[in-house]
Homo-oligomer: A and B are copies of this chain.
Amino acid sequence: MMLYFENDYAEGAAPAVLQALVDSNMEHLPGYGEDKYSKRAADKIRTALDCPQATVKFITGGTQTNALALDILLAPYEGIIAADTAHINTHEAGAIEFTGHKVLAQPSQSGKIDATTIQKFLEEWRADGSHEHMVQPGMVYLTFPTEYGTLYTAEELRAISDVCRANALQLYVDGARLAYGLAASADVTLPLLAELCDAFYIGGTKCGALAGEALVIPRPERVPAHLVNRIKQHGALVAKGRLLGVQFDALFTDGLYLRLGEHALAMAATLHDALVDNGLQLFIDSPTNQQFVVPDNAQRDQLAKMVRFSVWGKYDDTHTVIRLATSWATTAEDVAALDAELRRL
């Protein structure tokens, strides 16, 4: 029996989410997100955000959400400050540049950039006398959790938000794995994101949905004109918006979204202990559902016989960085079985 820790999108939808799709299947509903489920899901998200004025739109996938949101939130001449390791800078096939915007990549630590780095970039930008020949910085893009599973603290987010507001930059958070980040964070909450961000998205695809991300624009004055029109122009308007609305309605019923995150985190904690207890070196001490370790290549090959994981890259000539991820679908039995495998290494 193979054990699956390869990623957090290997199964379909969380059972309650799937059931909601089944239950609503034969209802006659209007298209293009005008259905009652999409509206109710948006309402529930606004409640969870404690932000009654937020605009919420459901988009199919993460790269699409990023490419759409950054393009419509920015002026055509503005670029995006992001970590050099940011998903938009490394693994979205240039989807951001495809819309005409430059990613202004900054040095990062374990997937994070900080307020000081942003401040320094702005100072150097201003010191150059050729502003009108340079890309205008318009936004800071963060991932929460980052690509390395790390988290910003509320204090770090506030510091970045302060720099943004002092410099007329928008703040955007890519929450592809937000459920896992919220579950792991001591102080970052949905209301805090609504307070600090100009826009962010609540990831569904990796957190219990078959597909779907909820793009949130907390403040009405930030909502681009003709928002639906621009979603359509980007090819991102789904005819059966119910597909996304029904799922998010279920995810935001009885706190399911956060509970899915908490379950994955509990599994990740056990996984973390199993890895460490069995002598594997952590590549990075991730607090979230992605765990990175450095087996030697013999261990790696042995493990690969029974466990699916992601290869993150070469560590040195004899070691490899691998990633094991839990999700809402991971069971205690899965982790126990993995622990048993690890003991045999």
A residues with a Cβ closer than 8 A to B are: 2, 4, 6-7, 9-13, 15, 18, 21-22, 24-32, 60-64, 66-68, 71-72, 75-77, 79, 90-95, 97-98, 100-103, 105, 127-136, 205-206, 210-211, 225-226, 228-230, 232-240, 242-243, 308, 310-311, 313-314, 329
A239 and B94 within 8 A (CB): no
Given contacts A31-B7, A100-B97, are A91 and B134 in contact (CB under 8 A)?
A: yes
Contact call A211/B238, Cβ cutoff below 8 A: yes
- C-alpha spacing A18/B233, complex, angstroms: 29
CA distance in complex: A267, B243 (Å): 26
Q: Top 10 A-B pairs ranked by shortest CB distance?
A: A64-B235, A12-B25, A93-B232, A132-B228, A94-B135, A97-B102, A93-B233, A4-B28, A94-B102, A91-B133
Instruction: Give CA–CA (A92, B79) in the complex, Å.
Output: 13
Closest B residue to A308 by beta carbon equals: B28
Name the residue among A10, A131, A225 with the largest chain B CB count within 10 angstroms: A10
A12-B25, A15-B25, A211-B240 given. 12 additional CB < 8 A pairs? A12-B24, A18-B21, A60-B60, A63-B235, A64-B236, A77-B226, A93-B233, A94-B102, A136-B226, A205-B239, A205-B240, A235-B235
Shortest CB-to-CB span from A6 to chain B, Å, is: 8
Could you say which residues of chain B place their CB within 8 Å of the CB of A97? 79, 97, 100-102, 135
Contact residues in B for A2 (Cβ distance below 8 Å): 28
CA distance A88 to B331 in the complex (A): 47
